[in-house]
């Protein structure tokens, strides 16, 4: 079913008509899960779709509707859903056991692959998620520098632990978010992205900065772009100050290139946090970086150095099933053009979606870098040329209007009704399995959405 099939239907009535099964499940979910969801970005008004199964670049909901998928497992699935080689590796691992509570060979192969591919990785410690990876990286930085302050950039996401909540989607003044101690947020300094003067001032004013952490293509996978020259500025400043530079490559790692953003720009961080693709699309994460820093986790090295070792258990660290998926996934990424294919699709789909905006005379922009798609719905009515949108110049506007607000939810609904699933940014990540058929569906869905929103008076 689509808006084109029901020309008089509103997007909402078309959505409700095609998703009765999702509506029923959402009603049950609200009774047991806060907001009926398990992840904030799955929250959607009036209710989210419930997925039944997926394959390659597409997925099907419980009502049998088919969607081109740009959630991609929250960015974890560069190889698409159910890649046969990855699935085989997982099935073989499952036969042998889901958890040994012991060392196993695949964790070595997994760490070796990360070290071969990520230029700055000398040692690797596995965690169970990206949140745990940034938590550990920041603790390592504080331990090895003996300093307390952390610098982060407004809008950047590093998971949901206490040290990284203020300044992501709210509390841009650094005050603590609900449930977080002021003593923790007091030790986190916020800076605007690409603000050379601001970061220089922080280093001038504070001698106790343990670490600077950032998403190296910018917040939300390049939605608020970081200029590559800014990465070099950060490298110079942190080196001079003896501060640890952490690239959070949870999204960009093994996606923008086999060696992540650090390989792309040739700027080497001291530590890198990884998850998503790094864990083969299954639950898992890792901290990779300089040996002397990760030695703070090492029994012998800390004993010899007279240091108090950082304690690090974790029931699912380097889980054998995840390890199997990760080794298979990284092998394909290392040996094929998977990253390049997803990136090329990104360039082309953004171009064609912008053609739609030009044809429809809508002053929005579809932008992004590598295999990311973002739609700027221009809430302030700026004079935008879709094909030449300078997203870095619009970071303050994006920061002041959290995603999912305004027309963005309607864009998402329009795309869903027309067979495409993006998040409420609206943003999406592309897999190496997206091809011409998915591109055509996406561009047609975007055109139908824009026209439907015009009919509904949501855009003019």
Ligand X SMILES: Cc1ncc(COP(=O)(O)O)c(C=O)c1O
Residues in touch with ligand X (CB under 6 A): 74, 129-131, 134, 157-159, 215, 248, 250-251, 275, 285
Specify the residue, 185 or 217, whose C-beta has the smaller distance to ligand X. Answer: 217
Specify the residue, 129 or 238, whose C-beta has the smaller distance to ligand X. Answer: 129
Shortest reach from residue 128's CB to ligand X, in Å: 8
Shortest reach from residue 332's CB to ligand X, in Å: 21
Shortest reach from residue 275's CB to ligand X, in Å: 4
Shortest reach from residue 155's CB to ligand X, in Å: 11
Shortest reach from residue 221's CB to ligand X, in Å: 7
Shortest reach from residue 79's CB to ligand X, in Å: 18
Shortest reach from residue 281's CB to ligand X, in Å: 11
Specify the residue, 49 or 275, whose C-beta has the smaller distance to ligand X. Answer: 275
Specify the residue, 160 or 203, whose C-beta has the smaller distance to ligand X. Answer: 160
Six-digit token string for 234:
């950060």
Shortest reach from residue 306's CB to ligand X, in Å: 33
Q: How many CB atoms lie within 10 A of CB 109?
A: 16
Q: How far apart are CA 107 and CA 109, in angstroms?
A: 6
Nearest residue to ligand X, using CB?
130
Q: How many CB atoms lie within 10 A of CB 105?
A: 10
Specify the residue, 260 or 386, whose C-beta has the smaller distance to ligand X. Answer: 260
Specify the residue, 230 or 446, whose C-beta has the smaller distance to ligand X. Answer: 230
Specify the residue, 22 or 263, whose C-beta has the smaller distance to ligand X. Answer: 263
Specify the residue, 127 or 449, whose C-beta has the smaller distance to ligand X. Answer: 127
Specify the residue, 158 or 451, whose C-beta has the smaller distance to ligand X. Answer: 158
Shortest reach from residue 322's CB to ligand X, in Å: 12
């Amino acid at each position: 079913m689509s808006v084109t099939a029901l020309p008089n239907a509103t997007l909402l009535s078309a959505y409700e008509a095609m998703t009765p099964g999702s509506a029923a499940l959402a009603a049950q979910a609200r009774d047991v899960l806060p907001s009926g969801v398990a992840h904030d970005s799955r929250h959607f008004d009036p209710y989210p779709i419930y997925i039944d199964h997926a394959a390659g670049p597409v997925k099907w909901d419980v009502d049998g509707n088919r969607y081109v998928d740009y959630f991609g497992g929250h960015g974890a699935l560069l190889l698409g859903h159910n890649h046969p080689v990855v699935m085989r590796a997982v099935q073989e691992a499952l036969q042998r056991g889901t958890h040994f509570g012991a060392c196993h060979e695949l964790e070595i192969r997994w760490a070796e692959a990360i070290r071969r591919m990520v230029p700055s990785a000398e040692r690797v410690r596995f965690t169970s998620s990206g949140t745990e990876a940034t938590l550990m990286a920041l603790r390592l930085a504080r331990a090895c520098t003996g300093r307390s302050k952390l610098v982060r950039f407004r809008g950047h996401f590093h998971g949901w632990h206490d040290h990284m909540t203020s300044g992501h989607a709210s509390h841009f003044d650094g005050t603590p978010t609900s449930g977080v101690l002021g003593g923790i947020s007091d030790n986190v300094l916020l800076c605007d992205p690409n603000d050379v003067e601001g970061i220089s001032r922080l280093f001038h004013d504070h001698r106790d900065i343990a670490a600077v952490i950032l998403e190296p293509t910018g917040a939300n996978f390049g939605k608020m772009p970081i200029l590559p020259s800014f990465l070099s500025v950060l490298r110079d400043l942190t080196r001079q100050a003896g501060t640890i530079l952490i690239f959070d490559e949870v999204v960009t790692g093994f996606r923008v290139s086999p060696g992540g953003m650090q390989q792309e720009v040739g700027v080497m961080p001291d530590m890198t946090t990884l998850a998503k693709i790094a864990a083969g699309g299954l639950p898992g994460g890792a901290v990779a970086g300089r040996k002397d820093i990760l030695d703070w986790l090492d029994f012998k090295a800390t004993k010899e150095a007279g240091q108090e070792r950082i304690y690090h258990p974790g029931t699912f660290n380097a889980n054998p099933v995840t390890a199997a998926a990760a080794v298979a996934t990284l092998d394909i990424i290392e040996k094929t053009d998977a990253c390049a294919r997803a990136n090329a699709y990104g360039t082309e789909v953004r171009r064609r979606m912008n053609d739609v905006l030009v044809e429809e005379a809508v002053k929005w922009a579809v932008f992004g870098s590598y295999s990311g798609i973002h739609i700027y719905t221009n809430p302030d009515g700026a004079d935008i040329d879709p094909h030449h949108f300078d997203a870095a110049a619009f970071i303050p506007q994006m920061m002041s209007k959290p995603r999912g607000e305004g027309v963005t939810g309607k864009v998402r609904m329009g795309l869903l009704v027309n067979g495409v699933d993006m998040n409420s940014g609206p943003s999406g990540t592309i897999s190496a399995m997206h091809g011409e058929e998915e591109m055509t569906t996406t561009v047609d869905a975007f055109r139908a959405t824009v026209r439907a929103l015009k009919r509904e008076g949501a855009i003019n």
